[in-house]
Structure 1
Amino acid sequence: MRTPTHDGTHDTPAAPDGAALRERAEQHLRALAGDGARLREDQWRAVHALVAHQRRALVVQRTGWGKSAVYFVATALRRGAGAGPTVIVSPLLALMRNQIAAAERAGIRARTINSSNTTDWESTYADVGAGLVDVLLISPERLNNPEFRDRALPELAAGAGLVVIDEAHCVSDWGHDFRPDYRRIRQLLHELPDGIPVLATTATANERVTHDVAEQLRSGDEHQETLVLRGPLERESLSLAVAELPDPTARLGWLAENLPRIEGSGIIYTLTVDAALETARFLSEQGMAVRAYTGRTEPEERREAEDALLSNEVKALVATSALGMGFDKPDLGFVVHLGAPQSPISYYQQVGRAGRGLDRAHAVLLPGREDTRIWDYFASLSFPPEQTVRQTLDALGQAGEPLSISRLETRVDLRRSRLEQMLKVLDVDGAVERVRGGWVRTGKPWTYDAERYAAVAAAREHERRAMLDYIAATECRMEFLRTQLDDPEARPCGRCDVCTGQYWPTEVDPDRRSAAAGVLDRPGTPISVRRQWPTGMKTLDVPLSGRVPEGERHEEGRALARITDIGWGTELRRLLAADAPDEPVNERVLQGLVRVLADWDWAHRPVAVAAMPSVTRPVLITDLAARIARLGRMQPLGSLEYSSATGPGERRHNSALRLAQVHAALRLGPGTAERASRSEGPVLLVDDYVDTGWSLTVAASLLRRAGAPAVLPLTLAGNGG
């Protein structure tokens, strides 16, 4: 084996018992991986540094290299010498399950503390205290849980025999999968007693990320450089390819036609939840054993899906990035991407799931024209501008008490997920702190690092351009990916489609395309009912609290499609784009809505139609409502209206502020209330797009209070994921 490069390090001096220590390490490895297993040289260098010299080390090696073997062998050696348990910070439950199973095979007693097993925490703490646990796995989110942080963490850190940070690229905001909770590890490391070794591992870190993580590992141990062991990233079994197809029906048809030709089972990655669900539905209807796996999938269903793939009971899981780091299936035969990730580094990580224990595996990318729009959406979720951050800090400082997320939403215009993400970053920076009851401002000075945020954004833009370059590559694809990861040994692989000149076919059987079109053209997706008003509305002078009265709610509604769908979503994104003209919808879209109405399993057919008001698309919505009323022979009630020409104002992003806007601005139009009161059946409420759902909720409340017996929302698009 060629010796990998070593950055910022020197050879670890041999301890007097080095030979004996290595023999014990080899014994533990054989217990873990089988009688034929032998330590790689860099595995031994890492184990030796951790066990003999209590060093801090960063191991950057390809997926399947054996990074987990390093910390399990080091754990066994440290425990044998009387050290405390190993504490592993691990990002995903799936990864934790795999690690626990691997540990048990080697006779290592492992337990976990995470959000899904809170009832086991007390017994786990007791077992750790009694010395009955060799490895304790915790999620990074636990590091800022007030109870865990204040009660358990100091004792764990003081008594640990080894601390491991798995998927360490998450520590760096230069990394492709940065997670604010991971940056709290820096404080954990700073508070570690002397003599506790630390290991960080990752398969996907370029030079910049590697340097950043290595520097963070020095926290509390600045007198000694971090040992960095970085190896070549070649995947000798992996055959990379790109197949460019004209539209979503062709891509789904391609999957149905070509998946049976690929040996083994694998993963089909999509960029959105809706794409995963649609693709899984289509392939299932084509007779393939597949399951969807997304962030919306219940934990128990996820576990069942993972087990089904591990045991080859399914041909594929159709997954978002929710199925990612740590999923360990050595015989995974393929990874197909339906849409391109926005980073070559994250793409390398995902395709790296395949072929770890095979001579040959396939990684095929099917890019879509809509990919860059989806990238734009994810980019919009970056760290907020300074004004928004200052507004948040001021709100916390002026409150005089902890503010929960729901109460903070009434003061800051950010969606909940983005608000939580921002608070985590501010927490790491020391500006805020999570306590029992919510969040408080610490009073410590804080500077908006505009230069760094701009540099990170520029790095993301560079990654996007590089992904497009990968798609259009005329030279080796594996070499391209390895170069993006700053692998000095990058060279042509001789296996990818460019190297061999053997490309996947892009001709798709017409019957397959027709079947795909039938699924993608199938209209209709539910619009859920809001049953609870947001917390804290009184602070916005809105007299709403508790449950939305049942007599004022709308029924479950329907949208033609979600805006992120790979079928109708493509047309809806064009139709509802900010620069699109305000004009009547075309006949195809209208007939799609007619089909939605025909398939709607309502308790009572609507007899009247009302239109929502719109500042940007009044022609589209009023014309659509009128045409639906004529086609369905329903009474037109007219439109609701806004109290001013500007409507509710600039659209707010979170529930509380959006509700305050529409509550103040929305009212029934002239004659609408009277006509609604005379309606003898449900009213169809027509709008272009449902996002937070509060406009429809307030409108339904107005119509119901005016006398409408029921309200059924109908929109062109619903929000997606």
Structure 2
Amino acid sequence: MANHQNAAVLSASSRADANPSGGAGTREQAQEVLRELVGHPAAEFHDGQFEAIEALVDGGRRALVVQRTGWGKSAVYFVSSLLLRRRGAGPTLIVSPLLALMRDQVAAAARAGVRAVAINSANQLDWDTVREQLAADEVDVLLVSPERLTNPSFRENQLPELIRRTGLLVIDEAHCISDWGHDFRPDYRRIADLITQLPESVPVLATTATANSRVVHDIEEQLGAGVLTIRGALGRESLRLGVLSLPDSRDRLGWLLTHLKDLPGSGIIYTLTVSAAEDTARLLAEAGHEVLAYTGRTDPADRERAEQLLKDNQVKALVATSALGMGFDKPDLGFVVHLGAPSSPVAYYQQVGRAGRGAANADVLLLPGSEDRDIWQYFATASMPSEQKAGAVLTALAEAGTAVSTVALEARVDLRRTPLELLLKVLAVDGAVERVGGGWRSTGRPWTYDAERYSRIAEARVDEQDSMMIYQDTAGCRMEYITSVLDDETARACGRCDNCAGQWFPADIAAAATEAAGQTLSRAGVPLEPRLQWPSGMDRLGVPVKGKIRPEESVANGRALARLTDLGWGGALREAFAAGAPDRTVDPGMLQACVQVLREWGAGDARTPGWSGAGRPAAIISVPSRGKPALVDSLARGISEIGRIPYLGQLQLEHGGPTGGRGGNSAYRLAGVWERLVVGPELEAALAGIQGRSVMLIDDLVDSRWTVTVAGRALRRAGAGAVLPLVLGQAG
């Protein structure tokens, strides 16, 4: 690949020498624009930058630039945009995947004197103004999200005119185009269709910092024939990599408490789960560190504020999930720490690439966890469709004969909202369905499940996980390993990582920090909010409910011991509920943790009255468990004995009990438990003796919450007062 790259660059330079009126003049103009953009009279192009600009501006070519973070890919498309605009071309259209990335790109363009605007889900009030600016030719660069390309109104009303006027198409973070990439997005596949609609004279630029040879080849195929690929060395001289393996989460959090203040500047602490980010941020903040959590659950306005505080060095760190990823630009970011490893070296390289972009030194430390593989498996949702689910969606749309909304489709196909939307996008890219006003409809085109292709991709994902484990254990240079996995033929020893130069980070942990971390991890209890509304379309599944759940039939706010993704009790729960794990009586420590949850729940606070204001429960009732009957029964009896609350037994199964498994959508999960959990004669008689008083309902694991909702409804209809759900684990 290195020889191929050099040949491409030399070829571009030769064309410039052979065409002084074109290439040489372009270089002078480009150099002038670059210096204006960066505000430095002596600024020079990095190797490969001008070659890409020349290919776009003079050659009208299609180019793929694979260069490390901080190399200056944005300079290529900003300089090219301004040169093309000077030559009478229309505005540049940039497809950009994240709102945070768009904000940074628009801000960078403004600083550089480039008139850039964006159209995305966060600025709908500005769309009319943007259209007016485009019509008046007052826009140099327009940024859109890939999802805009699938929006029927945008596709029909705005896109044709944009295609007609576009002077340059830029695909940022182009690895998202490839289903081999670590962050594949089906909407990106539509860009290949967009390229075919452009006049051949319109240049196309794809850029990414995270692509191995397989991804590069996939992108090249989608860009079309004659692609100029400029691929540079990916090694980052500013980064000092290291791995510190510690026994458990308590020690990893203790290390952070001990040494966060010593890490250079401000940075990012990545976690694998939302709950881990929130728990870690709370622990650090309570210890006096200026940190904020940043996850997919964070309000968009709070995200933007957190990003700015980090950029302004007003916080020591953001404790983030992968929601803070591509495109976040803080040149002086001093460190990146991972609490748990991402599932691939490619994803890891992309995240650590946030650090040291404009600084000579930055520290990168991985604190892997023994639970990492379990979490990877837990979150392993296929970006590729299953044949059965895809067939069910196509059949449902064909039978409907008209457009069906995603919400209505959930009552026809047992798929949750997020994977359903992902599957619809995959099928849309393949031409089998299309998004129109009112929802989705079948195109009638035949669709064949490519089992071999999807199997190869699944195997590649497993290989990536194995590679991440090798990275942790390697005795060789860590930077060399990461870049070699990315197929960088220039990969070489960095001389700076812990394996090259010796351990650069301290390994000691203060006793007080370990104790504080242990207390955080031993904390138990997360709110379990009740369902308030029945799913739409239940009549199609034979369940006669709709609209809001009647207050007199609903359950109260409940509690779970922990989420399966939590750092503390989550580990024990993941082990207990793992596939093939034996059914055992409740662990004494887990029982005591549940008792502590009940004490705190019962006491309440200023915001949440004890027992939700329902009073101390007069009895305990359990949900019959299909997988863990001994666990649930022993938990109910243990709480009954410790709390001196009568245990009345369990609900009765009807019609064979609940059907289906975890992971289905709300409509199907409700249908699977409807009228299958009932109050038997003995339990009904017992409830008669405590008529109108509250009861505690105990279950093992909640996912959709429809089991406790239906069970609680049955108890309420049998005369119970408030129903207070207590469960061990909450999925997600």
TM-score, scaled to structure 2: 0.95
Query: Per-residue deviation at 1:184?
Result: 0.6
Work out the percentage of aligned pairs sharing the same amino acid: 55
CA distance in 1, matches of 2:261, 2:663: 47
Aligned partner of 1:20 among 25, 30, 44: 25
SS at match of 1:11: helix
Question: What is the alpha-carbon distance in structure 2 between the residues aligned to residue 485 and residue 261 of structure 1?
Answer: 31
**Alpha-carbon offset, residue 651 of structure 1:** 4.4
Distance in 1 (alpha carbons) for counterparts of 2:411 and 2:94: 37
- Tell me the equivalent position of 2:607: none
Q: Is 1:608 the counterpart of 2:619 in the alignment?
A: yes
Question: What's 1:180 paired with?
Answer: 186
Deviation at 1:504, TM superposition (A): 3.1
Q: Deviations over 1:617-645 (max 9, x none)?
A: 12211221122122222232321121145
Matched, 1:104 2:110: yes
2:699 to 687, 699, 712: 687
State the match for 2:451 in structure 1: 450
1:267–1:62 CA distance, 2 compared to 1 (3 A): same
In structure 1, how many angstroms separate the alpha carbons of the residues matched to 2:249 and 2:202?
Answer: 53
Given the alignment of the two structures, is residue 324 of structure 1 paired with residue 322 of structure 2, yes or no?
Answer: no
Cα distance between partner residues in 2 of 1:50 and 1:247: 52
User: Are the equivalent residues in 2 in contact too, given 1:560–1:592 (CA < 8 A)?
Assistant: yes
Q: Is the 8 A contact 1:274 1:565 kept in 2?
A: yes
Residue identity in the other structure for 1:56:
R
3-state secondary structure, aligned to 1:236: coil
Shift of 1:405: 1.4
- For the residue of structure 2 that corresponds to 1:486, the secondary structure is coil
Q: Which amino acid aligns with 1:695?
A: T
Choose 253-262 or 384-393, whichever is displaced more. 384-393
Of residues 33, 36, 44 in structure 2, which corresponds to 1:31? 36
Residue identity in the other structure for 1:205:
A
Residue equivalent to 2:719:
707
1:642 is aligned to 653
- In the alignment, is residue 72 of structure 1 matched against residue 73 of structure 2? no
Is the CA contact (8 Å cut-off) linking 1:8 and 1:226 kept in structure 2?
no
TM-aligned CA distance change 1:208 to 1:3, over 3 Å = closer
Inter-partner Cα distance in structure 1 for 2:62 and 2:353: 26
2:639 maps to what in 1? 628
Question: Is the Cα–Cα contact under 8 Å of residues 264 and 363 in structure 2 kept in the other structure?
Answer: no
The reply on whether 1:663 has 2:674 as its aligned counterpart is yes
CA distance in 2, matches of 1:46, 1:319: 34
What displacement does 1:207 show?
A: 0.8
Aligned to 1:349: 350
Give the whole-Å Cα distance in 2 for the aligned partners of 1:490 and 1:321: 26
Cα distance in 2 between the residues matched to 1:31 and 1:10: 27
* Structure 1 gap ranges (5+): none
Looking at structure 2, the residues matched to 39 and 253 of structure 1 have their Cα atoms a distance apart, in angstroms, of 45
Please, which runs of 5 or more residues in structure 2 have no aligned partner?
605-609
Contact 2:484–2:491, Cα closer than 8 Å, also in 1: yes
Question: For this pair of structures, how many residues does the alignment match?
Answer: 714
Q: Do 2:385 and 2:426's aligned partners in 1 also have CA atoms closer than 8 Å?
A: no
CA–CA distance in structure 1, aligned partners of residues 396 and 692 of structure 2: 48
Partner residue in 2 for 1:388? 389
What letter is aligned with 1:25?
A: A
Distance 1:621 1:86, change over 3 A: same
Q: Is the 8 A contact 2:263 2:334 kept in 1?
A: yes
Residues 214-273 of structure 1: CA deviation (Å, up to 9, x unaligned): 11011xxx4xx1111100011111000000000000000011112111110000000110
Asked if structure 1 preserves the Cα contact closer than 8 Å seen for 2:242 and 2:503, the reply is: no
Query: Cα distance 1:405–1:563, how it changes in 2: closer, same or farther (>3 A)?
Result: same
Instruction: Give distance in 1, aligned partners of 2:456 and 2:198.
Output: 31
**Residue aligning to 1:289:** 290
Q: Contact 1:170 / 1:177 at 8 angstroms: preserved in 2?
A: yes
**Is contact 1:103–1:109 with CA below 8 Å preserved after alignment?**
yes
TM superposition shift of 1:8: 7.0
Q: 1:679: Cα distance to partner?
A: 3.6
TM (norm. structure 1) is: 0.97
Q: Which amino acid aligns with 2:25?
A: A
Corresponding residue of 1:359: 360
SS of the residue corresponding to residue 651 of structure 2 reads strand
1:158-178: CA deviation from partner (whole Å, max 9, x where unpaired): 111111000000000011111
Secondary structure of the residue that 2:323 maps to in structure 1?
Answer: coil
- Secondary structure of the residue aligned to 1:379 is coil
Decide whether aligned partners of structure 1 residues 708 and 664 sit closer, same or farther in structure 2, where only a CA change above 3 A counts.
closer
- C-alpha distance in 2 between matches for 1:135 and 1:436: 28
1:530-569 equivalence runs, <5 A: 530-569=531-570
| Residue 440 of structure 1: aligned partner | 441
* Deviation sequence 1:303-352 (CA, Å, 0-9, x none): 00000100000110000000000000110000000001110011011111
The residue correspondences of 1:139-538 to structure 2 (distance < 5 A) are 139-218=145-224, 222=225, 225-538=226-539
**Cα distance between partner residues in 1 of 2:22 and 2:504:** 54
Mapped contact 1:687–1:714 kept (Cα < 8 A)? yes
Q: For residue 401 of structure 2, what is the amino acid of its counterpart?
A: G
**Runs (4+) of structure 1 moved beyond 6 Å?**
7-10
* Most deviating of 351-360 and 372-381: 372-381
**Offset of residue 10 of structure 1:** 7.0
Contact 1:553–1:700 (8 Å) recurs in 2: yes
Deviations 1:37-87 (A, max 9, x none): 212241111111111121111000000000000000111111111111111
Distance 1:629 1:454 in 2: 50
Letter in 1 for 2:11: D
Asked if structure 2 preserves the Cα contact closer than 8 Å seen for 1:157 and 1:192, the reply is yes
Q: Distance in 2 between matches of 1:425 and 1:7?
A: 36
